[in-house]
Amino acid sequence: MPITQLLILMGILIGIIAIYVGTMWLNNKVEIPEECKEAYLEAQSCESCASRDGGSCGFSDTLEFLKEVKL
C-alpha cells in the first residue's frame, strides 16, 4: 500500500474520531429543556434490571401494559 493511501486513510480515520468527540462535547454543553427535566431525572435513576424482580420503577408493568394495548 503506497504511503499516500495510508495517509489518506489515517486522515479519514482521524476526521471521523474528531467528529465523534466534537459531537459528544457539544452534546454535553446542551441544557436539558425545562419541560423534560423531570423525565430526564427519572430516566437517570431508573434501574430497568430491577424490574425483573418486581422492582420499584414499574418498567415491566409498563411493558406488560403496552403489550395489552392494541393501537
The answer to whether residue 64 sits within a structural domain is: no
DSSP letter at 48 equals: G
| Tally of domains within the chain | 1
Count of CB atoms situated within 10 Å of the CB of 46: 15
Residue 32 has what pLDDT?
Answer: 77
Whether the predicted model's global pTM rises above the 0.75 cut: no
Could you identify the residue written with the cell 430491577? 50
The three grid cell numbers given for residue 15, joined into one nine-digit string? 476526521
The answer to whether residue 2 sits within a structural domain is: yes
Q: Is the pLDDT of residue 58 over 90?
A: no
The answer to whether residue 21 sits within a structural domain is: yes
The answer to whether residue 17 sits within a structural domain is: yes
The SS3 of residue 2 is: coil
Could you identify the residue written with the cell 435513576? 45
Q: Which domain holds residue 8?
A: 1-30
The answer to whether residue 45 sits within a structural domain is: no
The answer to whether residue 59 sits within a structural domain is: no
